[in-house]
Structure 1
Amino acid sequence: MTVAGKPLSAQADPIETAKSARPNRGSLALQDLGSGLSKHWLWRAMAMQDIVLRYRGSVLGPLWLTLSAAIMIAAMGLIYSQLFNIDPIRYVPFLAVGLLTWQFISSVITDGCEVFMSVQHAIQQVRLPYTVHVFRSVFRNLLILGHNAVLIPIAFLVMGHGIGWEALMAIPGLLLLCLNGIWISLLLGMVSARFRDIPPIVAALLQVVFFATPVFWPVENLGRFRHLGEMNPLFAAIDIVRAPLLGEPTAPHSWLIVGIMTTGGLVMTAGFFSRFRSRIAYWV
């Protein structure tokens, strides 16, 4: 039997043709990422607008963040330098860098849980790459870190602590933290949109982890258990930024731990995003 001069068996199945022409999940996820990166002007403007709107009507505006961080550094520097019996000249710079880096990491994580739920109306009404919201969240926290980072040279200057050329190694460390912030925000954003119990659980865990991580106390205080503290991924993330700024060597495995965490997180999140990207609009 023939149709249009061709055997029926040779005719292409229209359903199969449509399926083969449809982009697969991985391709759609890559398109989302590429489109999100190309719209850098959009998420940068949105991040700056977030900060402006958060402090609309305030006299000091974002300076409140810097002021509160300065008060915390001064108060903790006075108290904990005595508790840990550490010279304030060494401890205050250590505390300033560690605390500001921790605030960046914890803010990226907590904001990442809300990255899709906080813009649910935009997701349902405007066709934008999902990664735009992720980049917006990470860049917003990077702006806040940059705003607060003015306290670091002030702390170093007041304490008479110099900064050497090795401080430049903090730049690739910070870039790695931003890269980790992207996959963490994307992964937690999807999981939190599906399971609404995740944000409060993450917030509660971060409070516990803050005291269990060598943020404001030296890892040397663990004595013979020091290696356990150095294996903490959050300590490693702080260490690759703090140690270069302080002119000290990083812990033996900090870069390796952050590298493994970055690679593993990106691979895991890529698979998760490819699989569940199409459901985000329904979850929020």
Structure 2
Amino acid sequence: MSAATTPVESPWRRALADLADGWRQRELWGHLGWQDIRQRYRRSLLGPIWITISMAVTAVALGILYAGLFGNPLAEQLPYILVGFIVWGFIAGCINEGSEVFIANEGLIKHLPSPISVHVYRLVWRQILFFAHNLIVYAVMLIVFPQPLTWMSLAAIPGFLLLMLNGVWIALLAGIVSTRFRDLTPITQSIVQLMFFMTPIVWIYEDFLNSPNPAIAERARWAELNPFLHFLEIVRAPMLGADQNLRHWVVVLAITVVGWVLALTVMRRYRARVAYWV
């Protein structure tokens, strides 16, 4: 077929092909993700276990503090905060590092011909490894403070898969936009830090929702507008053996669909410009 009659590949097809080609290079981004962690903790005696220790110490300190402030039993408050920290660490990591995923990989993007999605998969894989390390603390917590786990607790697995799926589109979208507008990276990180306090991680949402004070209960319902609440609960609730609410899953699924459409739209238009912007 001559060059004049060669069909032109649509931008949508190129965007989807980038994701598919990046996924097929699992050996590359999988190795790079491992190397990121090894490099960060090179010459450290405990290595990545420092991630777990740091998170555990912070969660235990806050658990003791807020259990006293709210008058809750430590066996209730501490597991709630601990699992919240584990899940939030994954969410915040995907957003914060996603906003600079292409900027941080400028050298590879310019000198290594590979799909840009490789760098996003590498980021999410690295966050999965951090999450896996933190599960060590979760296992210890189950020994000290046993939870009423059932077969329904396995819902945490599809819940975490949804977090991973959202982590990819968030990193793609935030990475492309922040590469073009560099001021968005510190803004994004500040928003994530603010949302930590507005999301029920250290405070128990149901306590305020069931408050005998109608004014407090009414204000607590506004937390439903916080999308992070729903992402947190689809994983935390089953990990604690708590009852699950369908509305959390519905909201997360809706955000997943809308987010992917938005990310693919941005990727379709600006994917090729990333190499020039970094």
Q: TM-score range by the shorter chain?
A: over 0.9
Aligned counterparts, 1:147-186, within 5 A: 147-186=133-172
Rounded Cα–Cα distance in structure 2 between residues aligned with 1:112 and 1:73: 24
**Cα pair 1:81 1:88 within 8 Å, conserved:** yes
Q: Which residue number corresponds to residue 227 of structure 2? A: 233
Q: Is the 8 A contact 1:88 1:159 kept in 2?
A: no
2:242 is the alignment partner of 1:248:
yes
Letter in 2 for 1:249: D
SS in 2 for 1:67: helix
Q: Distance in 1 between matches of 2:154 and 2:128?
A: 17
Match of 1:134 in 2: 120
Report the residue type matching 1:192 in the other structure.
S
Distance in 2 between the 1:128 and 1:264 partners?
Answer: 27
1:55-107 CA-partner distances (Å, limit 9, x unpaired) = 11211111111110110121111111111111111111111111110111001
Structure 1 unaligned blocks of 5 or more? 1-13
Amino acid at match of 2:108: A
Alignment of 1:106-121 (within 5 A): 106-121=92-107
Tell me which stretches of 4 or more aligned residues in structure 1 moved more than 6 Å: none
Decide whether the 8 Å contact of 1:192 with 1:199 is kept in 2. Answer: yes
Instruction: State which of 35, 39, 43 in structure 1 corresponds to 2:29.
Output: 43
Say if 2:257 is the partner of 1:271. no
Q: Is the 8 A contact 1:113 1:189 kept in 2?
A: yes
After alignment, is 26-35 or 137-146 more displaced? 26-35
The answer (yes or no) to whether the contact 2:63–2:202 under 8 Å persists in 1 is: no
Q: Which amino acid aligns with 1:253?
A: R
Aligned with 1:214: secondary structure?
A: coil
The RMSD of aligned alpha carbons is 1.4
Residue 251 of structure 2: aligned partner:
257
Q: State the Cα distance separating 1:252 from its structure 2 match.
A: 4.7
CA distance in 1 between partners of 2:118 and 2:56 (Å): 32
Give secondary structure in 2 for the equivalent of 1:58. coil
Kindly provide the CA deviation profile for residues 169-217 of structure 1, in whole angstroms up to 9, marking residues without a partner as x.
0000000000000000000000011000011001111111110111111
What is the match of residue 81 of structure 1?
A: 67
Q: Does 1:65 align with 2:59?
A: no
Separation in 1, partners of 2:243, 2:145: 20
Match of 2:194 in 1: 208
2:196 maps to amino acid:
F
- SS of the residue 1:210 aligns to: helix
- Residue 214 of structure 2: aligned partner: none
C-alpha separation in 1, matches of 2:138 and 2:253: 26
Determine if contact 1:230/1:251 at 8 Å carries over to the other structure. Answer: no
Number of residue pairs matched? 269
Q: Answer whether contact 2:81 2:201 (CA < 8 A) is retained.
A: yes
Offset, 1:242: 0.6
Q: How high is the sequence identity, in percent, across the aligned residues?
A: 39
Structure 2 unaligned segments of length 5 or more: list them: 210-216
Give, as a single letter, the amino acid of the residue that structure 2 aligns with 1:194: R
Deviation at 1:30, TM superposition (A): 1.5
Q: Following the alignment from structure 1 to structure 2, what is the Cα–Cα distance between the partners of residues 160 and 101?
A: 19
Residue 156 of structure 1: CA displacement? 2.2
The residue type equivalent to 2:241 in the other structure is: G
Give, in whole Å, the separation in 1 of the partners of 2:120 and 2:130: 16
Q: 1: CA distance between counterparts of 2:141 and 2:58?
A: 12
The TM-score, its normalising length taken from structure 2, stands at: 0.93
CA distance in 1 between partners of 2:249 and 2:125 (Å): 23
The residue that corresponds to 1:281 in the other structure is 275
Cα distance between partner residues in 2 of 1:166 and 1:216: 24
Structure-2 separation of matches of 1:48 and 1:117 = 20
**Secondary structure at the residue paired with 1:21?**
coil
The answer to whether the 8 A contact 2:15-2:268 is kept is yes
2:249 counterpart letter in structure 1? W
- Aligned equivalent of 1:3: none
Instruction: State the one-letter code of the partner of 2:240.
Output: L
Q: Deviations over 1:4-36 (max 9, x none)?
A: xxxxxxxxxx99x36x62212112112111111
Q: Report the secondary structure of 1:253's partner residue.
A: helix
